[in-house]
Amino acid sequence: MGRSFLKMNGLGNDFVVIETRTQPFQPTAEEVRAIADRATGVGCDQLIAIDPSAKADAGMRIWNADGSEVDACGNATRCVGWILMQSSGRDAASIETAAGILYARRGEGTNVSVDMGEPGLDWTQVPLAEEMDTRNIELQVGPIDNPHLHTPGAVSMGNPHVVFFVDDAETAPVRGAGSLIEHHPLFPEGVNVGFAEVRARDDIRLKVWERGAGQTLACGTGACAALVAASRRGLTNRRAKVEMDGGVLEIEWRESDGHVIMTGPATFDFAGQLP
């Protein structure tokens, strides 16, 4: 008997979600890669397991398409929140992750809001290999006297992010620079790389190279990191819409408690059985 799964996406960032509360699930990296393979498997950016939890409504484990396990994924958290709220009939759900307990709430239509907690802003939290001011770290790409990209902000949203501010997100060297910076020695755990164009104080256009997944249509934690990095530099307000290739997320960095609230759609695509 194959194991059943749900295929979901958050703004085109897509997931294979497996319910493991009745049937334990410990995939090898090779099995994760096989499921994620778009030619021969189901195909996804991330594989998600919904586990039993003593502290929350459910636990969540996340693997990137390359087989590596990671601590956080914002778009997946919205999808898991939606599944838990659909099955419970309630308007809220708590999800235990390696990055802490996250809280999801039902929004309008298919929208789900997730409290992503406080961003990590100290260099040790990102983490960086050496002490730096995370508002603008010493990193550049291109010729020393005229770099294409330089002094990005660094933020942890339960996973490491670096955000470059660019004049035009459409022409940003996402693949070339993203793959280079993902494994830069400054980031001992690797890093997700954002390319953010601030269009207005409440409007950011963003492209993201995701650690272990490459360029994706949308990255929830990346949108959160971009808003925090932009706000810390005074480029935007503490609330903005972040437009990615897959669609728009509303991000707010709350003044009251410093938590980041991410709101956007969670879309159910289909159900199936793993071979």
Catalytic site positions: 73, 219
- The Cα 161–Cα 167 span in angstroms is 19
Q: What Å distances lie between residue 116 and 91, 136, 180, CA to CA?
A: 17, 23, 28
Q: How many CB atoms lie within 10 A of CB 241?
A: 18
Q: Which residue from 6, 81, 5, 8 is spatially nearest to 246, judged by alpha carbons?
A: 8
The string of DSSP letters for 236-264 reads: S-SEEEEEETTEEEEEEE-TTT--EEEEE
Q: What stretches of 148-224 adopt beta strand conformation (E)?
A: 149-150, 153-156, 160-165, 192-200, 203-210, 214-215
Tokens of 114: 């997730």
Q: Which two tokens stand for residue 198?
A: 């601030």
CA-based angle 273:50:80, to the nearest 5? Answer: 95
